Structures are given as structure tokens and as C-alpha cells.
Structure 1
Amino acid sequence: MGKMVSPEACSLVQSQAGPSRHYGTVEDERQGQETESDAQGSNAVTTNLTCQDCVIVSCIFAALLALNCVTIGFGLPALARKRAAYGNLTVPASSSPLRQFKSYVVVSDVNYCAPIGANVIAKGGSAVDAAIATLLCNGAVHPHAMGIGGGVIFTIYNHTTKTAFIIDGRETAPIGSELFPKDRLSTGALSIAVPGELSAYEKAHSLFGRMPWKQLVQPTIDLCRKGFPVTKELANALANKRNEISSNANLRLAYFNKEKRRIFVEGEIMTCSELAASLELIRDEKAAAFYGGSLGKQLISDLTRQGARLRLMDLFAYKAELREALRKDLLQANVTLYSPPLPGNGAILSLILSILDGYRFSAKNISDVRSASKMFHNIIESLKVGYIAKANLGDQTFLKNQTMLDYIMSTKFAEQIRHSIYNVTHSSECYRVPFDYPPKEERGISHTIVLTSNGDAVAATSSINKKFGSLILSPRTGILLNSHMADFSVEVYGSNAVASGKRPMSSMVPAIFVDIDGTPRLVLGGSGGNRITAGQAQVAIQNLYLGKNVKQAVDAPRLHYEPVHDKVFHEEQFPGVLVDKLCFRGYQVAEDHEPSAINAVSMNSAGIFANLDFRKLGSVAGL
């Protein structure tokens, strides 16, 4: 593993190797002999050129020479520009602006939704109130990414008490799911896990909310009734699932333009009347309407008709959990990282940054090619260890090997890994971290950030797993269900194996970095499946260590390590010279066509700063 150089990516290596030798076939040899004979025959013919012929030949030669000079004249500057771009370590700024605020900000990767959250704060609501109102909107506008049929993880920081908490609304496996056919858990009716979204909203509101519940739900009801323009992202997601939606009557009910008899396209007004009616029940009865109430009964009835094994008792039994946030002190950056424990991916983000913290990165590490190459090599090896370690983890309530988790989180383990990283890539065996199963992808994800000037912060990531989740929609409730049963391992006895009531491992890692005085310095979260953790780690490195502002940190092209095939993916904007340097270090590399999208908010004495990732965009609002 990890010793081959990718010929597709190492363009410079190929060009330096010179032209390849061609070994012809017998037919090629025969044609060559015939050509040679023709040439010898032609040499025997005497050619007489007139003065007029000489003039014509001279003119042609002069024209060709002039054309060649023009080509070189235009070509050399282009070649020079290409060579300069190849070795340029400076990242061009994206079109996504750096936004500055004084009092508060709400960031959503969904259009239209951040203003709803900002309006909640303007009316006296808390940061958690704003997050809940924004998330409800996110689920209505981008149903392919999240919704009340999925799950969510909140990381909440209270500046007054200097404490951080996690609300774990991750889905759970239904009762008896150990008996489900493992090959049918990836999509469809059996892929549905017990939704935790609404339970988490209600728990977060009961602990940290100020505004009446009804006022958090009503804006999204109004949006669903009135309708909203279909965003570019939703239109693309619908187009990608055109066949599945067209062949499913329930999905057509929600995502077909009835007048034009096709899926909605960008800019068309989409309404959600069934979902609006469900939200009205939730507005009046809170989460109880869903977890065993009238709404839950309608939902289960619809799902049973479509082959799901989710039962009313599963909804009754579900409870979102209040947990203590994982804490990791990053001494060189003078910050403390708060992130979600298992089944969230906070332990892995903490491990990766703990390894990298010891390198004492600074702006000097991106000042020249040699230093940058070494830094990104260290980042990749740290990602490698983190992603491999994740394969051994699962729901902490069910985890049998707690000692292993404690060791992964320890400073000693981070130091051991750091001392094991040399100048070339290593196989996973070199780090003595076993690799049990391929990580799963979560592409249906949305993230929301809220930060206020008094230092209260919320990072919330929500998901239905794949885009459009299970592709099972309840026609009477308008609720699209998740496919998070696919996030369990197929291994029968693994840490992430299926068990009734168990939460599957997740790539979600809403993170808050706090200064030594207890003030939030950086709040991160994003979408992109397994790429989320790698993306957040690199944005944190750019901001906390290399001195970039949040826009520059988010704009910077990123790398991702994929453990199944031991391959490194780089974004198109990643400097070509560094790609080739990675090849020389032994990495297999390829261009990344589905990068993560990481949103970031920072705070310092000058104010609050926010940036939407240009890779996805969304909405920002504040004061």
C-alpha cells in the first residue's frame, strides 16, 4: 500500500521521463519496409525546379517561419503562465465574501434559512433557538440533505459557564434489526433508522431555549405554504435522482412540477403542503406528535405499506441524549477543541489535530515548496491514522473496548504517531492501527452555525445519509426518511455492527475552538461525507496555525485521504508542484471531484467573521 506513483496525476514526472518507446507490430514493419522502398525509388528520380518553383517554395518557407515565430510569441507567455501557476503556492480568492458582524451571526449552507435564525435572535431568542429555527428551514428547502426524518448532532458552548455540551440526536437501529438482511440496509425500506432530529430539537430547546417553541416552527410552516424558489443544489440533486423519483409515486408527489409533469428545476416555486401540515402538529404538540402521537402513527402506517420495519414502539423508545463534549487542548494554538463523542467523529478530529499540533506549524510552512510539501505530507499521514482508527469505533454505549478509545484520545498516542512519520508515506500497518471495514459515505448532510458576541456558540450538523436518504417518503406526512442503517458495518461482531437501539458511527463533527480565556475563536462544520473531518482539520490548521482568516482558510484547496484504496485526493486548485512532490513521496493521487464544503465563523476583538464555502454556498445573516 502507498508506494505507487499515479501516472495520471504526476504530469511533471511523466514529462521529465521523456517520450515512451513504441514497439511496432509485424504489419508496422511491413509498412515501414514498403515506405523505405518507395523512398529509395523516389531518390532515383531526377527533379528539375524552375525559378518560379523556387520562388513559391521560398514564400511557403517564409510563411511557415513567420507562423512559427507568431506561435512561439503567443505560446511562450502562455507556457510561462502555466509554469508560474504550477509552482504558485498563493491561493486565489473565491467569490464568496468574508462577512463581518458585531453582535451575532447565523450561517447555513442552505439558501433562505439563515435570515430566519437571525430574526429569532433579533426578537430575543438564544443561539440554540436560532439554530433550531434555521435547521427546520434547512430540512424543508434541502430535503435531499436533511430533515425531520433524519438525525442531528449539536455542539453547544455556553460562555457564561464556560462549558460545552452535546445533544446527540443520531438515529438508532430499530428493534430486531440484527435480523435484517445485511445486503438490504444500504437503501430502501430496510435502510431506515429511527429518526432523532425532533427529539434533539426539543431537548436542546428545553435546556438552552428562550423563545416559545411555536415561534421557532412557524417560519418554516409559512415558507412551505407560500413556496420557495428551488435552489441550484436541490435542482442538481433532483436531476441526479430523476429516474428514482419518476418511478416512485410518493416521490413524484413531493418533487414533481405538476403543471409541467417533470421534476422541479432551479428557480421554480416549490411548495410542501403535506410537510407544512406535519409541522403544524409539531408546532402545537412538540416532538410528542412525532414520537408516538398522531403524526407518528400516520408515518408508521405509510412506512409499513412500503415495506419498512420501523414500528411505533421504536418511536416511543427513542430519546436524544445530552452528553459532555470531548475536550482536547491544542497547546501550540492556545485553544481547546470541543467536539461530539461517539458516535460522532470528535475523537478522530481530536486525534488528527493533536498529532499535527506537535509540529508547531506557522506561516513559514507555506512560504516555499519544500516546507509546504513536508507540511501536507504530515497532514496526510495524520489523516491516514485518523481514518483507520475510526474503523475500530462505534456507539460508545455499546463499545466493548473503552481502553482503545482512551488511548486514541491520549497525548501519548499522538506523540507516538508523530514520531512514526518520516519523509515518505507508510502503509497503515506501520502505525499498528488495525483496519476493519470500509467507511461509509454520508452525502446528504447540512450544517448550521450560530455565534453571538457574548460568546455563546452552536454548531449543528444534520443528515439523512445519502442524498434523499432511503428514497422512502411518507405521502401523508411529507416526511422523507433517512438511510442511516447503511452506516453500520457489515461485520457481525465489529464495534459498529448493527444492534437494536444502537447509533451508527457518523462523519459529523460540529466543532467549537475556544481560547484560553473561554471565548470562542473558531466554529466549524460541514458536509461531504467522509471528507468532512479532513476538511475541518485543514481549515483549522489554516486559521489557527498558519494565520489565515476564515475566508482564506476555507478557500484554500484541500486534500482527502481515502483508506480503502490508500489514495490521496486533491482539489483542482491544489498547486501542481505540490501534487508532484506528494507523488515523489510515494502517494497515489487523484483529483477530487466531490470535495467537502466547510463553513466557518471566527471571533476576535475586531468582531465576528463568517465565510460560506464557495464549494456549496448557502446563506449568512446577522447584525
Structure 2
Amino acid sequence: MDNNQMAMQQPSNGLQETEEASNVNRNRKWHKRQTKKLGLIVGCSALVIVLMLVIAYIVTSQPQRVAKVAPNPVAKLPPSESKLQQFRRAAVCTDAVICSEVGRDILAKNGTAMDAAIAALFCNGVVNCQSMGLGGGFLMTVYQRSTKRAFTLDAREAAPAEATEELYSTPNLSKQGALAIAVPGELLGYWEAHKRFGNLSWSDVIMPTIKICRDGYKMTLHQSDSLKLKEKHVMNDTYLNSIFVDPDTGKLHKEGTLIKNTKLCDTLQEIADSGGDSMYKGNLARKLAKDIQDIGGKVSEKDLSDYKVRWLDPVSTTLHGGETVYTVPPPGSGVLLSLILNILDHYQINEKSMSTLQDSITTYHRITEAFKFAFARRGELGDTDFVSINDLLSNLTSKEYAKELKSKIEDDGTSQDPSHYGAVKISTEDHGTAHISVLAENGDAVSVTSSVNLYFGAGIASQSTGIILNSGMDDFSFPKFPNAFQLPPSEANRLAPGKKSMSSMVPSVVVDSNGDVRLVIGASGGSKILTATALVIMRHLWFGETIKEAVDAARFHHQLYPMQLSYEFGVLQQVLDGLEKIGHKTDRYRERGSIICAIAKLGASLFANADFRKGGEVYGL
């Protein structure tokens, strides 16, 4: 290669090196730019994540601040907005305003206390169908002033003939669905009670409810809340869906919506025309049984025709003030109400028992211990047609046994051991209900508690009749299902064909030493029925509170399992501190709890109050 050629190549090599250097620089700059971009992306992403975390914190913490639990009060709460009503002649208390009006109007037409009670029950079964109705059952206490006698009627649901424990492989089968349905006793109970104590014609008692049903009723807040709790079941049942779901939005109807159950209205008309036994024989019975069996239920036409209500002798006890309490025997829990009152009656409790803080703590403690002793024996109770418990019932209602239990209560201590209170079996937790109290001008009284068990019963309505069907099978004890307390379920309350399950219902009438009605009372609210009723009776008769003050007062509850004292907002913190020092474990419950409907007679005046916790009203003459 000559020099010229070399000279020509050298610039070429220099250019190549320059280009390579340039490429390297470009690559470095590109990498720097990419690194900056990546850093920017990472930084932005981190910022977004931080912002999202901050937003999430704000969103999630805000409801907690809104729903922050208020501290227990240290001073007595002001009265609720419910009205203390006063009447001269008669009164009707229900948890649905329109139904109290219906009962009052029946009394004004010369209807008896029973006429008014049945009319109000029919009405409540339409407007409070989530809690009671023709597909359920009831317990009733009746007082007849002319004879000074009390009667009780058992119209609880009964197990179908084909029902066996083996059918219930999981606990939920007794709560929801076709197998949860027991034979309803509601309507036959109305029919038999009306035949014995009614005055107006059968159709006259039903017609006001048929009109309400045809016109429609406005959904209450309580029914709206119940729908939300049972939304899944209501959505899944074709008929319930057609009544309670807005077809345009696919969402549950809201409070204030006009509700019409057309098929139920037709059923009520058939019952008015054909009689109260028409659901147990004939066309209506065939339709109802077919609807249940078509979805796999066990209630048959024969179960309906075989069903019987029972008139039973009341449980009664006389207190130190001369008042006699009449209430229901098993399958109700009247013997336990009697036991609680008898234990505490030995303390001669009066208004001075709450005069100081220490007196209040001691009284609350004694009442709580009485509750525990009562619930300890509940697991031994059952349908007396199936279990022999006469000796037990005599013992539980005796003053001597109550005095023996009272002697076991120590004012400065409590036990966390259920066996200390005599518990050997665990009872079944029961559920919501509705209650009606009536006092007529002639001095007769009716106290009745009705239920379809869980809200909307089994979550099923009869497609041809519009009747919401109960979940009564869930009130039986099932030995195969373990419980959290490691105690065997109640043998006395085990399922058997035709048997009626235990209930906390205690519809009661209290009369004075002259035989005049002093108090008509009962409650809804599952297991808290028993303790709520006992508390209001004590507050009114012994503490000297008006019936409104007694109903308004914050309640507390102990059912032994779990081993804790449950209480409502309103129990003073100082009292709770004192109870905890004695050894009680306390826990405030958030749900509505129990609902009382009570009528009190003082001299020539009647005073009545519908519990503010649910609403409702009292009407009278």
C-alpha cells in the first residue's frame, strides 16, 4: 500500500473512531434518560401508592369515627320519645300503630278482649309479617275477671310426622329452607280462642285486616331493617321477591313503600268465609301442604288435619305485695319467670333497693344471679306431652326452692362455673317474635306472643296462599351438633314427631289481691324475652316506676351461656364497675334486644306504653 493510500485510509479510521465514540456517548445519554424515566416512573408509582394508602386510611377510618361507640353514661338517661298513654276504659298495645287502632275499634264495637287481640294479631301478621303470621304459632295467657280465673293456650308449631333428627345433617337445615318448616298453629289457635272467648262474628274480627291488606300498608323501618338482614333469602324466594323487591331496580323496597300481598289477602278472605279451621282441612290445607312438599318440606295435609291446640293450666305465683302473676307453662318459659320473681321476692325488693349506688350494684347483682339460676334449668324443660317433668315444674315454682337458691347468692361474689347454678344441659337459643297486650273495660285481659321464629321464618312463602312459613324446627335441640360450651344439648327438647319446641315466650297477666288486673305484659326478642319481662315487672311493681319508666329503663341480661352479663346502653358505668368488681364479665350488646308491650292499671286509670326500641303504639277507650 503506498503512502497516498495510507493517507487516504487514516482519515477514514479517525472518522470510524469518532462515530464509535459518538455512539458510546449517545448510548450513555440514552441510558441516563431511561434511568431518569425509570426513576420518575418508580417515584410516581411510589407517590400513587402512598396517596392510595392515605385515601384508604381516610375512607376506612371515617366510618369508625362515625360509628364510634359512645361511652356508658354516668347519669340517668332522659326519657325516650315514646308516649305514656292514659285511658279510662280499655287499651290495646301492639308494635304496629295501625294494628293497635284495629284492636281499639273492635273494643268500641262491643268486642271482647279476645276479639280485639285476634283482630290485632291478624293485622300484625300482615304488616309485621317478618315476625309473625298465619305460618307461625303463639302462646297466650287469658284472664277472665268475672270468674277470677286465668287460662293459657298453646298454639306453638309442631314437628311434622316425618321429621327425624337424621334429616338435619347441618345446623342450617333447621333454620332456612323447606326442612325448617314446622306445622303452623297460629290460625287454629285464633279459631279456638275466638270460639271460647269471642263475642263478635268471626268475619267481623278479620275484615279490618282484609281491608288493610287490599289497600296496602307502608313498610316500617323495622321491616326494612329485617329485609336487609334477610336479603339473600328474600331475593331467592320467588314470592317474597315479588312482594319486597322493586322490579325496576332489583333492590329491596325501602321504608315507606306501599306493600301489597294480594294472595295473602285472598287467603284471609277465604278464612273469613270458611272459618279458622279451613287451613287445617279442605282446599286451603291442600294448597298449603302441596306448596311445602313441592319444595321438599315434610309438612303434609295429614299433619295439618292432626294438629291440635292445647288449653293448659297457667303457672302462677303470688308476690309479697299481694299480686299474683299468671303466665304460660312449657313449651313457654313461665316457670322460669316465676322462679326469678320468687328468688328476688325473698329480698323484699322495693324502691329503696336502688336508692344509693351500692344498693343499685347489689340489686343488679342479685337479679343477675337469679337470671343465671333460671337459665341453668331451662335445658331440662320440654313439651309435657312428651317428657315427664311434673316434679321439676313443682320444684321450679315452689317458694321453698326459690328460698334455697336465694341462700346461694353471695352479695360480694359470683361464680363463672355453670355447674354452680345447676346447669347440666344447654338450651336452644330462640329468636324474634311479636307481642300484643289487651285490657278490656270489663276487666278481662289477653297477653299473647306470636312468632315465625327467625325473621321471615324459613325464608319461604307459600306460592298459592301468600303465607310466610315458619322456621320452627330450629327451636329443637339436635344432639349431633356440637356447641361452643361443650355441654350436651337438651334431651327434653329433642325433636319428635308432633312435639312442640321450647320457647322463651312469657305472655303474662298480673292481678292484685282483689282479682283486678294490675298489669298485662309480654315481650318479643328471643331469649331476652324472659329477662326483659322480669325486669319491667320488678321495676313497676317493686321499684315504683311508671310503666313508661320501667319500659324505657336500660336492660341487662344473663343466660349463663356465654358466661357474661349483657347490657344495653344506659346502664350506668358506676354500676358496671361495681358488678365487675364482684366478678361479673360484662359486654354491651348492639342489637335492639327485647321489645315490651305493657298495660298497667292504677286505680281507675289505665297507663300503657309501646317500647321505643321498635315503635308501635297504644290505643284505647
Q: 2:545 aligns with which of 539, 545, 548?
A: 548
Alpha-carbon distance, 1:323 to partner: 1.3
CA contact (8 A) 1:111 1:231 kept: no
Structure 1 residue 217 corresponds to structure 2 residue 216: no
CA contact (8 A) 2:376 2:418 kept: no
Match of 1:488 in 2: 476
Q: 1:253 aligns with which of 242, 248, 261?
A: 242
Alpha-carbon distance, 1:292 to partner: 2.0
Alpha-carbon distance, 1:401 to partner: 3.3
Determine helix, strand or coil for the equivalent of 1:414: helix
Match of 1:406 in 2: 394
Separation in 1 of the partners of 2:397 and 2:86? 35
CA contact (8 A) 1:420 1:431 kept: no
Match of 2:256 in 1: 267
Alpha-carbon distance, 1:621 to partner: 1.0
Match of 1:572 in 2: 569
Match of 2:333 in 1: 345
Match of 1:11 in 2: none
Q: 1:517 aligns with which of 514, 517, 522?
A: 514
Runs of 5+ unmatched residues, structure 2: 1-69, 481-489
Match of 1:608 in 2: 606
Match of 1:321 in 2: 310
Determine helix, strand or coil for the equivalent of 2:200: coil
Instruction: Summarize deviations over 1:149-198 as a string: whole Å, max 9, x none.
Output: 00011110000000000111011111031254233222211111110001
Of 454-463 and 284-293, deviating more is: 284-293
Q: Sequence identity of aligned pairs in percent? A: 36
Determine helix, strand or coil for the equivalent of 2:317: strand
Match of 2:121 in 1: 135
Aligned residues: 538
CA contact (8 A) 1:438 1:563 kept: no
Match of 2:229 in 1: 240
CA contact (8 A) 2:373 2:421 kept: no
Matches within 5 A, 1:282-293: 282-293=271-282
Separation in 2 of the partners of 1:201 and 1:558? 32
CA contact (8 A) 2:430 2:503 kept: no
Alpha-carbon distance, 1:429 to partner: 4.7
Instruction: Summarize deviations over 1:362-395 as a string: whole Å, max 9, x none.
Output: 1111111100000000000000011111111101
Structure 1 residue 356 corresponds to structure 2 residue 356: no
Matches within 5 A, 1:558-597: 558-594=555-591, 595-597=593-595
Q: CA RMSD in A?
A: 1.6
Structure 1 residue 101 corresponds to structure 2 residue 87: yes
Instruction: Summarize deviations over 1:328-360 as a string: whole Å, max 9, x none.
Output: 111x23200000111011011000011011111
Alpha-carbon distance, 1:260 to partner: 4.4
Alpha-carbon distance, 1:425 to partner: 1.2
Determine helix, strand or coil for the equivalent of 2:558: strand
Separation in 1 of the partners of 2:323 and 2:479? 38
Determine helix, strand or coil for the equivalent of 1:569: strand
Q: 1:110 aligns with which of 70, 81, 96?
A: 96
Separation in 2 of the partners of 1:176 and 1:238? 31
Match of 1:367 in 2: 355
CA contact (8 A) 2:191 2:277 kept: no
CA contact (8 A) 1:334 1:515 kept: yes
Of 205-214 and 177-186, deviating more is: 177-186
Alpha-carbon distance, 1:307 to partner: 1.1
Match of 2:9 in 1: none
Which amino acid is the alignment partner of residue 539 of structure 2?
Q
CA contact (8 A) 2:165 2:495 kept: no
Match of 2:192 in 1: 203
Task: Calculate the TM-score normalised by the size of structure 1.
Answer: 0.84
Determine helix, strand or coil for the equivalent of 2:140: strand
Q: 1:86 to 1:615 in 2, by over 3 A?
A: closer
CA contact (8 A) 1:388 1:428 kept: no
Separation in 2 of the partners of 1:514 and 1:532? 20
Q: 1:478 to 1:430 in 2, by over 3 A?
A: closer
Alpha-carbon distance, 1:400 to partner: 2.3
Alpha-carbon distance, 1:411 to partner: 1.1
Alpha-carbon distance, 1:94 to partner: 0.9
Separation in 1 of the partners of 2:189 and 2:539? 32
CA contact (8 A) 2:165 2:478 kept: no
Structure 1 residue 190 corresponds to structure 2 residue 188: no
Which amino acid is the alignment partner of residue 607 of structure 1?
S
Determine helix, strand or coil for the equivalent of 2:276: helix
CA contact (8 A) 1:557 1:573 kept: yes
Match of 1:65 in 2: none
Structure 1 residue 277 corresponds to structure 2 residue 263: no
Q: 1:165 aligns with which of 140, 148, 151?
A: 151
Matches within 5 A, 1:77-88: 86-88=73-75
Separation in 1 of the partners of 2:346 and 2:403? 8
Which amino acid is the alignment partner of residue 139 of structure 1?
G
Matches within 5 A, 1:394-433: 394-422=382-410, 423-429=412-418, 431=420, 433=422
Separation in 2 of the partners of 1:180 and 1:110? 40
Separation in 2 of the partners of 1:600 and 1:105? 10
Q: 1:535 aligns with which of 528, 532, 535?
A: 532
Alpha-carbon distance, 1:259 to partner: 4.7
Which amino acid is the alignment partner of residue 615 of structure 2?
L
Separation in 2 of the partners of 1:189 and 1:295? 19
Match of 1:17 in 2: none
CA contact (8 A) 2:266 2:465 kept: yes
Which amino acid is the alignment partner of residue 344 of structure 1?
G
Structure 1 residue 153 corresponds to structure 2 residue 139: yes
Match of 2:66 in 1: none
Which amino acid is the alignment partner of residue 575 of structure 2?
L
CA contact (8 A) 2:371 2:559 kept: no
Alpha-carbon distance, 1:261 to partner: 3.5
Separation in 2 of the partners of 1:528 and 1:223? 26
CA contact (8 A) 1:167 1:203 kept: no
CA contact (8 A) 1:113 1:138 kept: yes
Alpha-carbon distance, 1:86 to partner: 4.6
Separation in 2 of the partners of 1:482 and 1:212? 28
Task: Calculate the TM-score normalised by the size of structure 2.
Answer: 0.84
Alpha-carbon distance, 1:563 to partner: 2.0
Q: 1:318 to 1:388 in 2, by over 3 A?
A: same
Separation in 2 of the partners of 1:450 and 1:402? 31
Instruction: Summarize deviations over 1:390-447 as a string: whole Å, max 9, x none.
Output: 111101111223212211111111001000000211245564523312431212x110
Which amino acid is the alignment partner of residue 195 of structure 1?
P
Alpha-carbon distance, 1:243 to partner: 2.2
Separation in 1 of the partners of 2:445 and 2:536? 18
CA contact (8 A) 2:107 2:440 kept: no
CA contact (8 A) 2:243 2:261 kept: yes
Which amino acid is the alignment partner of residue 106 of structure 2?
V
Match of 2:50 in 1: none
Separation in 2 of the partners of 1:453 and 1:299? 39
CA contact (8 A) 2:456 2:468 kept: yes
CA contact (8 A) 1:392 1:434 kept: no
Determine helix, strand or coil for the equivalent of 2:561: coil
CA contact (8 A) 1:91 1:555 kept: no
Determine helix, strand or coil for the equivalent of 1:404: helix
Runs of 5+ unmatched residues, structure 1: 1-81
CA contact (8 A) 1:459 1:524 kept: yes
Separation in 1 of the partners of 2:276 and 2:504? 26
CA contact (8 A) 2:73 2:570 kept: no
Structure 1 residue 119 corresponds to structure 2 residue 105: yes
Separation in 1 of the partners of 2:181 and 2:614? 27
Separation in 2 of the partners of 1:538 and 1:112? 28
Q: 2:444 aligns with which of 444, 456, 461?
A: 456
Which amino acid is the alignment partner of residue 508 of structure 1?
M
Structure 1 residue 393 corresponds to structure 2 residue 391: no
Determine helix, strand or coil for the equivalent of 1:297: helix
